[in-house]
Amino acid sequence: MRSFFLSLSLLIAPLTTALVIGQDDSSTLTERNTQNLWKLYSGPPACTDTNKRSHCTSIGKDCNQFCICIPWQGCGAAAEFFCLLEGGYLDDKCTCHKPTHRWHPRDLRCPSPLTACSLDATPSAHSSYECIDTTSTLDSCGGCVFQGQGQDCTSIEGADEVSCIKGSCQVSSCLRGWEVNGNGTSCERSDLGSVVSNGLRASWRVADRLRVQL
């Protein structure tokens, strides 16, 4: 790898000088650079027998210029360099995966595992964004609420204490007259509980008055 970058630096230096001096226009320089790069990184000529190349590949080996299967040598500096030049990367099958040039706010704006959530009700390319952990943020639990994802745990009707756990709203307690539902994700009306609690409070007030009188 060190020799690869050394060769690359030796190649780039004269090209940079040519650009500064302005000896060639961009199209001629690009064409010449490409030819030079291929000469430098392409290595020895490849086997021209397609069947033998396919056979070597099928058993996990390389095929040299004499069409003989040899131990796997990797993707080669040329393939790696040109893929890197286009902003891509090589997988284990030497396939170059290039960027799509599409806008990905989740990837480009926030570090993992945070999500870029728009601060505007109608998100656009010019909107302001906030990096949020949607697995634990109360008002964007499970996704960006403005983008039609997730849930605002603080807006659950009747809820008193709420939390966002692994992207799902969980209700710990409810306001008076409400009770936590069976799965702990919302509050349900509890008219009977409200009547009982009101009756208890009335009894306590009467008892307090009696104690004062005594």
**Do the domain assignments include residue 87?**
yes
**Do the domain assignments include residue 72?**
yes
d(CA 13, CA 163): 58
pLDDT number for residue 118 = 81
Same domain, 87 and 57: yes
Reduced to 3 states (helix: H, G, I; strand: E, B; else coil), residue 47 is coil
Same domain, 93 and 116: no
pLDDT number for residue 148 = 85
Same domain, 78 and 114: no
Q: How many CA atoms lie within 13 A of 185 on its CB side?
A: 9
Domain hosting residue 62, numbered range:
2-97
Same domain, 89 and 184: no
DSSP 70-124: E----S-HHHHHHHHHTT-EE-TT--EE-------HHHHTS-TT-EEEESSSS--
Same domain, 109 and 40: no
Same domain, 48 and 112: no
pLDDT number for residue 7 = 52
DSSP 132-192: E-TTT-GGGBTS-GGGT-SB-GGG-TTEEEEEEETTEEEEEEE-TTEEE-TTSSSEEE-HH
Number of domains in the chain: 2
pLDDT number for residue 115 = 87
**Do the domain assignments include residue 79?**
yes
pLDDT number for residue 120 = 73
List beta partners, residue 97. Answer: 89
The list of the chain residues with pLDDT below 50 reads 1-2, 4-6, 8-24, 26-27, 29, 38, 40-41, 103-108, 194-196
pLDDT number for residue 84 = 73
Same domain, 87 and 152: no
Same domain, 154 and 130: yes
pLDDT number for residue 47 = 76
119-174 pLDDT tens trace: 776 665 566 778 899 999 999 999 988 888 899 999 999 999 999 999 999 999 99
Same domain, 167 and 78: no
Q: What percent of the chain has pLDDT over 90?
A: 24
